[in-house]
Amino acid sequence: MYDTTKIVKLIDKLPKEAVTRAKEPFHWNNCLWLPRFNKYGEVTTYESNILNLKLWLRGSELTICNSLQKFYLKNNYQVFTFNQVQEAIYNLDAYFDFDLLSAVVKKTAIAVVISENEDNTFRNWLEYKGNKPILMRNSTRIYGAHFKGTNYNIKGYDKTYQTKAESNTKLSKSLIRFELEANSRYFNNRKHPIGIYTVADLVNKSKFDALADELLNIYDTIKKQPIINYQKLKPKEILLLGAMKDKDSFNGLKKYHKHSFKLLRKDYSKLLDSIADVELENSIRRKILEQINYCKNN
């Protein structure tokens, strides 16, 4: 369920190369560290990596960033359960000669992937707490939508398309990823804080469950337009939907044909109530809930 994570650890015992600001690469904690310089030729940081994870050491501050799920599973389109999260973090901790569990969590992402298509998911998102969705694009291809807040980013996107575009990996079915990426203030500065302060909190079962519940709560809070099966509609009903959804047509009817507009609005509301595919909407929520529960219980 976890994905991109940023953690910071203050190192009490630095390698001698970092203390003396060595200008040559060196090995420390099972990693090769490369110096990075400013324009005056002075060492500013040392950088390294563990598989996909990026590490940099600036002064006595070590930062580790990137996808914990990809570190463990090599991808982030499969299920990443609580037991796997524990093993991933303990595997990462084994690289170091200090206690990684005491490192501070600055940011983390939680997500699930379901088998569904974009027309039934993020393309129907209308708003989240007053914010309109921002489209996610790759050139001219719209492959997702997200809500950007001060301390969070909520995403829904076509994981099958993104995986093919980024790594040329072709998945056999249509997958949609639903994700919350947030800094620690989002989880902790609230009436009922979840309490994500250190890496140890990421392997705390009750807090893992609370994060999972938060993901579902966010999905429920997103306002969505009804899912419509156009195959079952008559041509005049499709025309009515089009007229009400098109901004220019809507405003033209409202301005120049007020009486007809009022009647059409009533017909439009009745039509939406009668044709919304509630079962399909409930099915999508069940898929998200099933994935969340699987991550919790395995």
Whether residue 264 is predicted with pLDDT greater than 80 in this model: the reply is yes
CB 98 within 8 Å of CB 9: yes
Residues 173, 45 share a domain: yes
Residues 206, 145 share a domain: yes
Helix axes 278-297, 205-221, angle to 10 degrees: 170
The DSSP output letter for 29 is T
Residue in the structure block whose two tokens are 């939406």: 272
Range of the domain at 36: 2-225+285-297
Q: What does the pLDDT look like over 73-90, one tens digit per residue?
A: 999 999 999 999 999 999
Residues 73, 113 share a domain: yes
Residue 247 is encoded by which pair of tokens?
């901004």
Q: What does the pLDDT look like over 234-262, one tens digit per residue?
A: 999 999 988 887 878 888 999 999 999 99
- What pLDDT is stored for residue 271 in this prediction? 86
For residue 93, tell me if it sits in a domain. yes
Residues 236, 151 share a domain: no
Residues 138, 32 share a domain: yes
Q: What does the pLDDT look like over 15-35, one tens digit per residue?
A: 999 999 999 999 999 999 999
For residue 28, tell me if it sits in a domain. yes
Residues 271, 290 share a domain: no
For residue 249, tell me if it sits in a domain. yes
Residues 244, 168 share a domain: no
Q: What does the pLDDT look like over 183-196, one tens digit per residue?
A: 999 999 999 999 99
Whether residue 227 is predicted with pLDDT greater than 80 in this model: the reply is no
Q: Is 256 exposed, middle or buried (0-12, 13-18, 19+ CB in 10 A)?
A: exposed
Q: What does the pLDDT look like over 86-137, one tens digit per residue?
A: 999 999 999 999 999 999 999 999 999 999 999 889 998 988 998 989 999 9
Which residues touch 46 (CB under 8 Å, ≥6 apart)? 17, 18, 33, 34, 35, 36, 56, 57
- What pLDDT is stored for residue 36 in this prediction? 97
Residues 47, 74 share a domain: yes
Residues 81, 156 share a domain: yes
The number of folded domains in the chain is 2
Whether residue 231 is predicted with pLDDT greater than 90 in this model: the reply is no
Residues 101, 16 share a domain: yes
For residue 280, tell me if it sits in a domain. no
Residues 218, 244 share a domain: no
Average pLDDT, the chain: 94
Residues 147, 59 share a domain: yes
pTM attached to this predicted model: 0.85
